[in-house]
Amino acid sequence: MRFLVALWLLSLPVAAQSTLAVCASNSKDYVVGAKLPPSGVFLNENGHWRHVGFNQPFIVALDYDPADPSTLYLAAGNGLFRAAKHGEEWTQLTGSDVTELRDVSVDPTDPKTIYFAYSHGIRVTHDRGQTWEELAATLHRRYTEAVRVDRAQSKRIVIGGEEGVFRSEDGGKTWLIAGAAGFQILRIEQSPQHACEWLATTQGAGLFASHDCAKTFENSGRIGVGRDLYSISFDPTNALRIALGGWGPGVAISEDGGKTWHERNHGLPRPDVWSVIFDPNHAGRIYASVQEEGMYVSDDAGLTWKPAGLEGSVAWRMKFIP
């Protein structure tokens, strides 16, 4: 009985509070200037999707303020937005000097510090977006697709761009190549269980893993070579389970911490996946966004899939918000 109570207490905060937020485009018949079907930020509330805030075609990543999770940060074509009040109240935090943002990462230990990756560099604010500093001046090529702050070491920033994975130990003042040199990085994620475990996906060169706190990334050589891997999700309920999403592999799952991978696409309309995420509230539940087919969900870690709404859309990124 005591064990059951303990389990209940353990699961209560996550189960009661986590909401899946996605940034999605309904892009099937859209070109710039055309009528835009509902696109932007959607919250999954009891299995139903609610569109919040503005209709926007190019919101490609989101994060939240750990001090106030009802405040989201959105990386968009127009710039970085703060979407307060559960995504309803938007303020543009950037000006004309940045465009076509690619990623955003809030420092979990210092919510005033926010990084974003964009078409021509990386920027940081230390005052919640009032002022910004460019961090890419010393990089050979500035295009940056992915950025993450190390949750265990806030001065450590890991970025991915046109020429590989780079790491900074001083908050972005200086950069060192960390791996995947010469390859376009598509996504970087840090393990929620083991802070020194990182993964990076690439365009065409497969998966790269770091086991030394992002100092070095080595090609795993086991998945996605010759294809493009767009998404990484570590299962918060199972430290050995990891999911990748990509075009071609669809959803690939590892049950042994990345040693082996299995494509699990049964029930998906096509194996072209933009984003995947494990549900921290339900062990074994995983969501996937399939190219212009909408959301799919699996309750058995990808063995079988069923539709989960947002038909016709592409969800570029998903995040569970506490």
Q: Does 29 bind other proteins (CB under 8 A)?
A: yes
Residue 170-209 contact track with other proteins, rule CB under 8 A, x = bound: --------------x-x----------------xx-----
Site residues (CB under 8 A) for other proteins, limited to 73-92: 77-79, 89-92
Are 27 and 39 a contacting pair, CB within 8 Å?
yes
Question: Virtual CA dihedral for 238, 242, 245, 246, nearest 10 degrees?
Answer: -170
What 3 state SS string does 158-176 have? EEEECCEEEEECCCCCCCE
Contact between 56 and other proteins per CB under 8 A: yes
Q: Does 228 bind other proteins (CB under 8 A)?
A: yes
Q: What whole-number distance in Å separates Cα of residue 134 and Cα of residue 115?
A: 10
Beta carbon nearer to other proteins, 230 or 241: 230
Spatial separation of the C-alpha atoms in residues 87 and 108, rounded to whole Å: 19
Q: Return all residues near 33 (Cβ < 8 A) that are at least 6 apart.
A: none
Q: In angstroms, how far is the first alpha carbon of the chain from the final one?
A: 28
Query: With the C-alpha atoms ordered 143, 230, 198, 86, is the resulting torsion angle positive or negative?
Result: positive
The token duo for 209 is 């893993």
Stretch that binds other proteins, among 42-50, 51-59, 275-283, 300-308 (CB under 8 A): 51-59
Contact 258, 298 (CB under 8 A): no
Per rule CB under 8 A, is residue 35 in the interface with other proteins?
Answer: yes
Q: Tell me, by CB under 8 A, how many residues bind other proteins.
A: 42
54/220 with CB nearer other proteins = 54
Q: How far apart are CA 235 and CA 237, in angstroms?
A: 5
Using CB under 8 A, pick the residue from 5, 31, 46, 48 that binds other proteins.
31
Closest by CA to 105, choosing from 145, 63, 152, 60, is: 63
Contact 270, 314 (CB under 8 A): no
Contact call for residue 33 and other proteins (CB under 8 A): yes
Contact mark string toward other proteins, 279..308, x via CB under 8 A = ------------x-----------------
Question: Is 263 one of the binding residues for other proteins (CB under 8 A)?
Answer: no
Residue of 50, 140, 173, 259 interacting with other proteins (CB under 8 A): 140
Cβ closer to other proteins: 124 or 186? Answer: 186
Q: Which of 57, 171, 224, 236 binds other proteins (CB under 8 A)?
A: 57
Binding site for other proteins (CB under 8 A): 27, 29-36, 54-58, 77-79, 89-92, 95-96, 99-100, 102, 119-120, 140-141, 143, 162, 184, 186, 203-204, 228, 230, 247, 272, 274, 291
